[in-house]
Amino acid sequence: MSGRGRGGGGGGRGRGRGGGQPSQSHSQDAGGRGNAAPRVPPQTVASTVTQFGNLSVGSSTPSPSTAPAAARATAAGTVPQQPVMQQNPVQTPPAPVVSAQQPITKAAQPPQASSAAPTSSRIIKAPPRTGYGTLGRKCVIRANHFLVDLGEKDPYQYDVTITPEVISKTRSREILKLLSELYKQSHLGNMLLAYDGKKSAFAAGPLPFESKEFVVKLNESNGREKEFKVNIKFVSRKDLHHLRQFLSGRQHDNPQETIQALDVVLREAASINDRQIIGRSLFSAEFGKGVLGDGIEYWKGFYQSLRPTQMGLSLNIDMSARAFYETKLVTEFVGEFLGKDLMRPLSDQERIKVKRALRGVRVEVRRENYMRRYKVQALTVQPTNQLTFPVDDTGKTMSVVQYFREKYNIHLRYPHLPAIQAGSDAKPTYLPMEICRIAGGQRYALKLNEKQVTNFLRATCQRPLDREASIKNTMVSNNYNANPLVSQAFGLAVKEQLTMIDARVLPPPHLKYHGTGAGSEINPSVGQWNMMNLKMINGGTVNYWAIANFSRHREDAVGRFIHGLVTMCQNRGIVFNPQPLIPMYNSAPNYIEKALVEIHTQCTAQLQKVAPGNSLQLLFVILPDAKGTYPRIKRVCETELGIISQCCQPKNVMKLSNQYFENVAMKINVKVGGRNSVLAAALANRLPYITERPTIIFGADVTHPSPGEDSSPSIAAVVASMDWPQVTKYKALVSAQPHRQEIIEDLYSTTTDARRGVIHTGLIRELLISFKKSTGHKPHRIIFYRDGVSEGQFNEVLMSEMDKIRKACASLEEGYMPPVTFIVVQKRHHTRFFPMKHGDKASTDRSGNILPGTVVDTKICHPTEFDFYLCSHAGIQGTSRPTHYHVLYDENKFTPDGLQNLTNCLCYTYQRCTRSVSIVPPAYYAHLAAFRARYYMEGAELSDSGSSHGGGAGGRATRDRVAEVRPVPVIHENVKSVMFYC
């Protein structure tokens, strides 16, 4: 996830496969929340089954043990009958879904999970790896994984409780470090401790006690001494034998807690020189730092994580960077953050924006021989010169300005600014901004603006050669093997060489464009191709279109731009009327909603005259120069008016670039129902696992709000292929669900009506019905690519979502249970691949990365389960990130070559460009659809005046707003059946 905060929190791949609280397959009695698309009309189970059965082409309703005859589409479009496909017996809806090949087993004392997720005492065992792929040209590459040899000493876990409670992990580590120094010889038996900064410490053997309380006195920043009581209590012993058995494949249960214990040991060893530990990464100015702008800077650092792999325990090391607050006066920060002269007061919106950026930040107040730290709780609504506080019990008050003048001889320069509020609401402490300095080493958790993102990428982007060198230097500086905790206490040994891996480069698929003969077929080279002199295989039709100009460009300039774009569309095979339905509509950006409604009204009236019964097919929109209008335009067009729109940046109007026109033409074609290209193998009925029987491919993703948006809902999106066997057109449905919930609620649900009985709804169900209406066939096979799931959530997501997929199928027809393959797509991980020989043109692309199509399923992959890494795209800048695919459920019996090759081929079917993409398109489309739905919700909060909630934060919710799950605006019927989100 996001940011696309998808899964793992902080960019790691989460903790432990199958970890977390397993999910409970509970009954679906309540209707889903906020489904963006209208549901199938309410109906009883019996009528629904009849409806789905009646959509069959040349087949009757099957018995519970058989499916309708599978069909295969030929290039000419005929559908010969195939032998019937055996189906698993239908399951009772409330029961959890399992496969005969994947038995449910009891989970041993599962850890606690969020209350938002369903729970269960059962887990589904992931399918085992049945072999290794052989397809493709063999090569050798390097990966940023370092083999760790296990010692002989079992880790002993101890629970750590600090009183009074300490929230800061850095502070907690200071306390434990001092405790170790004070009591190592006298009470700890000369044992070294590895501490995670929260509740757990680990020793390489038993301490001399079961439970003991220690007293530690720590010097505070104000010069005072504070006493802490630390209780250390034995919890458990972690058995390395079980870990060895798991790594060798002789035990299937992942001893994740043992791996986490050793992970803490290696992280403790790396946390030298006051490095800041944030999640699984460590940052320090020693690795480099720089300014991002608006009071924010970046620090470089590295990520490290211990992982179980086929070759043994592997330490994954990667370079990382993070945004931090600059150490400066708060007034300096506020001036840069807002980009304004602070001699003028802050508006309410500016105050809320600053409050959101500073909440929780530690500031320092320094005077001669004095320094004290405070934590920012809020900003005062009143300016500092209006603040007073009681000075005694008589009710006498003093102003804050007077207090600082008389007490410290400080004459405030900015008394008109709000003050920082520290302390509690009941007993607040007011601090003028100009006397407070932001403490160093504090990460900035909010979303970076465009300028900061550009600066961040420019400063931290590394080519493969440079990134590999940085990783090697990090390993040398960490010097794990010389650390007494690692080598002497726990007996671990870390190999400092990157792992060499036998990889394979899969061949690119052939792509078919319009026409016959060899000239209409393209063989991509190094992940890209050119469609010059080619036409889209299925050009759409645009007879009725219009132009909305919200930019400052003159009408004649916009006219030339649109003419060039329309001409390109015609040249590429789109049937495009050269004349707009109405004259160009020019409007100021302040009245976007009004202008769009007026355009729709005029077009509807004109169509009544020239083509009754038709509607506007496309609206070109030239965006204004001001930012923040795109969400409003998309919301109004796609949820209120039912118009497909193509937005263009004003900066492109004067360029008249053919490359730009071609890129936009590809987007327009799929938006109006066309196809740009298809896999030649699909047309020739030679695409394994797809063309031999009707197959639907799903993509699903959940996007979570950006950090700081504490009350915005998460958005789930599910897309599904609608054009078997070509698998290029994907319909999208979206839904809002509780804040940061990963499991998709609305895949399937039921409600009960006294008159109509059980009413079935849900995203999966609606997409299955759409597939049947579009292709004339029920899906005989389901392939489900699920994006955004961290390893710790594998089991609960699988249990819940597979159960809903099964129930959605069973609700459509008695005995309908097509085999399902459920694959998790992970992009947020830190595995990187490097060529054996940098600069070798035969083994690298133009950016110096490994070649597109490179697949890895050995050494660094899971010890026993079916997973692989695939780098399906050519690098553009920096080091390419391969995508990790992990099969959690497989009733279609994929071979390694079969799934790897299918996934790679699909990566060449992304309809928005002539390049292969880095993640499988169904998952990519789901991601786009989810972000489009978030635009709808942002756009709904913006008015014509351009004001927004949250003090200019783009309409996003702040902590001041009430947390609730607002439904996503319903996508208009005219829009939802095409790829409007492209």
Residues in contact with 538: Cβ distance below 8 Å, sequence separation at least 6, in sequence order: 514, 674, 675
Measured CA to CA in angstroms, residue 574 lies from 663, 668, 952, 982 at distances of 14, 9, 41, 17
Residue 766 host element (H or E): helix 763-775
Residue 910, SS3 per DSSP: coil
CA distance 573 to 672: 13
Q: Tens of pLDDT along 203-213?
A: 999 999 999 99
Nearest alpha-carbon partner for 2 in 971, 678, 926? 926
Q: What is the 3-state secondary structure (H, E, C) of 436-491?
A: EEECCCCECCCCCCHHHHHHHHHHHCCCHHHHHHHHHHHHHHHCHHHCHHHHHHCC
User: CA 697 from chain center: how many Å?
Assistant: 20
pLDDT at position 968: 93
Position 160, amino acid = V
Residue 84 host element (H or E): strand 81-86
Q: Tens of pLDDT along 709-739?
A: 767 899 999 999 999 999 999 999 999 999 9
CB 596, CB 645: distance < 8 Å: no
Please give the average per-residue pLDDT across 958-976, as a whole number: 75
CA distance 927 to 872: 18
Phi (first) and psi of residue 592, to 5 degrees = -65, -50
Measured CA to CA in angstroms, residue 976 lies from 346, 459, 673, 737, 864 at distances of 43, 40, 11, 20, 41
**Which residue carries 């609504």 as its tokens?**
381
Q: Tens of pLDDT along 571-599?
A: 999 999 999 999 999 999 999 999 999 99
The tokens of 117 are what?
A: 């997720």
Higher pLDDT, 865 or 395: 865
pLDDT at position 427: 87
CA–CA–CA angle 53, 56, 59 (5° rounding): 100
Please give the average per-residue pLDDT across 232-247, as a whole number: 97
Q: Tens of pLDDT along 353-394?
A: 999 999 999 999 988 878 889 999 999 999 999 999 888 777
CA distance 360 to 375: 6
CB 551, CB 586: distance < 8 Å: no
Strand-pairing partners, residue 314, are 147, 307
CA distance 897 to 893: 12
Q: Which of 94-108, 317-331, 413-427 has the highest mean pLDDT?
A: 317-331
The tokens of 806 are what?
A: 């099964």
pLDDT at position 29: 37
Strand-pairing partners, residue 620, are 547, 646
Burial of 597 (0-12, 13-18, 19+ CB in 10 A): middle
CB 734, CB 22: distance < 8 Å: no
pLDDT at position 57 over 90? no
The DSSP result for 675-688, as a single string, is BS-EEHHHHTT--T
Burial of 214 (0-12, 13-18, 19+ CB in 10 A): middle
Band (pLDDT 50/70/90 cuts) for residue 550 is very high
Judge if the upstream peptide bond of residue 164 is cis by omega within 30 degrees of 0. Answer: yes
CA distance 820 to 798: 12
Q: Tens of pLDDT along 187-224?
A: 999 999 999 999 999 999 999 999 999 999 998 766 68
Q: Look at 107-121, 774-788, 846-860 and tell me which has the smallest mean pLDDT.
A: 107-121
The tokens of 792 are what?
A: 């710790």
CA distance 385 to 396: 17
User: CA 553 from chain center: how many Å?
Assistant: 37
CB 458, CB 238: distance < 8 Å: no
CB 66, CB 780: distance < 8 Å: no
Q: Kindly tell me the sign of the dihedral angle through the C-alpha atoms of 757, 762, 766, 768.
A: negative
pLDDT at position 122: 64
Q: Tens of pLDDT along 469-516?
A: 999 999 999 999 999 999 999 999 999 999 999 999 999 999 999 998
pLDDT at position 394: 75
Strand-pairing partners, residue 844, are 850
Q: Tens of pLDDT along 611-649?
A: 999 999 999 999 999 888 999 999 999 999 999 999 999
Band (pLDDT 50/70/90 cuts) for residue 47 is very low
Classify strands 781-787 and 820-826 as parallel, antiparallel or unpaired.
parallel
The tokens of 974 are what?
A: 């005219």
Measured CA to CA in angstroms, residue 635 lies from 620, 668, 737, 837, 956 at distances of 15, 18, 19, 50, 15
Q: Tens of pLDDT along 644-675?
A: 999 999 999 999 999 999 999 999 999 999 99
Band (pLDDT 50/70/90 cuts) for residue 304 is very high
